[in-house]
């Protein structure tokens, strides 16, 4: 994970943003380790999170308004109960479904970690 911010870099400043993305994703990855998942499953989730981080960086470059928002908000706003952002045409439908499964897990983890209103 320590190399992720450099791999996402499009221009100066992206590495610092990437480090904040990694910090936001780390609790989820640590939680996955406690569930007794196979190495292959953990690697798949890790790879999907790397794709998600790259998508956040790319979207920030495509939409200047996103640069004004905390990167953690941008990251978690890309997630929904049904999955994550559409990566197509970069990946196949099957790979998108697998990516969405990871994003659903991350969404649930994030929502459950927030205090309930009321």
pLDDT digit string (tens) for 78-116?
Answer: 999 999 999 877 899 999 999 999 999 999 999 997 655
Give the separation between CA 95 and CA 49, rounded to whole angstroms: 13
Give the separation between CA 23 and CA 3, rounded to whole angstroms: 13
Q: What is the pLDDT of residue 26?
A: 96
Q: What is the pLDDT of residue 113?
A: 78
Q: What is the pTM of this model?
A: 0.90
pLDDT digit string (tens) for 50-66?
Answer: 999 999 999 999 999 99
Round the CA-based radius of gyration of the chain to a whole number and report it. Answer: 14
Q: What is the pLDDT of residue 118?
A: 47
First to last CA, the chain: 37
Q: What is the pLDDT of residue 117?
A: 52
């Amino acid at each position: 994970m320590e190399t992720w911010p450099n791999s996402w870099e499009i221009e100066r400043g992206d590495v610092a943003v990437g480090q904040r993305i990694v910090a936001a994703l780390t609790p989820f990855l640590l939680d996955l380790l406690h569930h007794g998942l196979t190495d292959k499953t953990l690697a798949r989730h890790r790879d999907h999170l790397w794709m998600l981080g790259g998508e956040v960086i790319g979207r920030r470059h495509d939409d200047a308004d996103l640069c004004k928002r905390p990167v953690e908000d941008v990251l978690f706003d890309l997630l929904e109960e049904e999955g994550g952002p559409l990566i197509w045409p970069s990946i196949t439908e099957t790979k998108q479904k697998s990516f969405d499964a990871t994003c659903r897990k991350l969404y649930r983890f994030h929502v459950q970690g927030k205090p309930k209103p009321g």
